[in-house]
């Protein structure tokens, strides 16, 4: 490898919104996540709908059987 062209990889602490933390190596100083493997629906098996604009409720209301 050539000297001086590769970035410095340091150990950093990754923090998720659910509170989970783990250590990895990165060129960034700190990493904050919205969703990780402990709270992601694919890994947990629980369905979790993240909807900030009310689209899901609007869809359910529109297509609800009367």
Query: In 17-55, which positions are buried (b, 16+ CB within 10 angstroms) versus exposed (e)?
Result: eeeeeeeeeeeeeeeeeebbeebeeeeeeeeeeeeeeee
Torsion over CA: 13, 16, 19, 24 (sign): negative
What is the domain partition of the chain in residue ranges? 10-62
CATH architecture of 10-62: Irregular (4.10)
What is the three-class DSSP state of 49? coil
pLDDT in tens, 20-52: 899 999 999 989 988 887 887 776 777 666 666
Going by pLDDT thresholds of 50, 70 and 90, the confidence category of residue 13 is very high
Q: What is the pTM of this model?
A: 0.54
Q: CA 31 to CA 42: how far, in whole Å? A: 22
């Amino acid at each position: 490898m050539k000297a001086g062209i590769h970035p410095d990889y340091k150990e950093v602490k990754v923090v998720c919104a659910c509170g989970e933390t783990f250590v990895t190596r990165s060129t960034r100083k700190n990493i904050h996540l919205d969703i990780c493997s402990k709270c992601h629906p694919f890994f947990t098996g629980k369905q979790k709908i993240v909807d900030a604009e009310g689209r899901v409720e609007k869809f359910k209301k529109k297509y609800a059987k009367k």
